[in-house]
Amino acid sequence: MSLNISSKQMEVTPAIRTHIEERLAKLDKYHTQLINPHFMIHKQPNSYEVEATIGSPLGDLIAKAVNEDLYNAINEVEKKLESQLIKLKEKKEH
């Protein structure tokens, strides 16, 4: 899976990339193909905004979070993506 991370205001360090990859790995337990995961990081004056768009056979996952701490914002996005994935899987099963 190729992960696309972009940011205009800051450099995406290997540590940031690794953290996002580890968070995305948590979604593997749902056995759904993640297509073209794209994370966009916006550095704001006092916070970070992280936006994620991921395609899947069940439907598109889109999440956004704003936090003073970049890693916490990434974690919040992962939780939102996970809850969307659960909803999509439940909808497909009915």
Write the CATH number for 58: 3.30.160.100
Q: What is the pTM of this model?
A: 0.92
For residue 1, name the pLDDT band (cuts at 50, 70, 90). Answer: low
pLDDT in tens, 54-85: 999 989 999 999 999 999 999 999 999 999 99
Host domain of residue 57: 4-93
CB count in 10 Å sphere of residue 27? 18
Residues 15, 60, 76: CA angle, nearest 5 degrees: 40
* Spatial distance between the Cα atoms of 34 and 49, rounded to a whole number of angstroms: 22
Domain count, the chain: 1
* Spatial distance between the Cα atoms of 2 and 10, rounded to a whole number of angstroms: 21
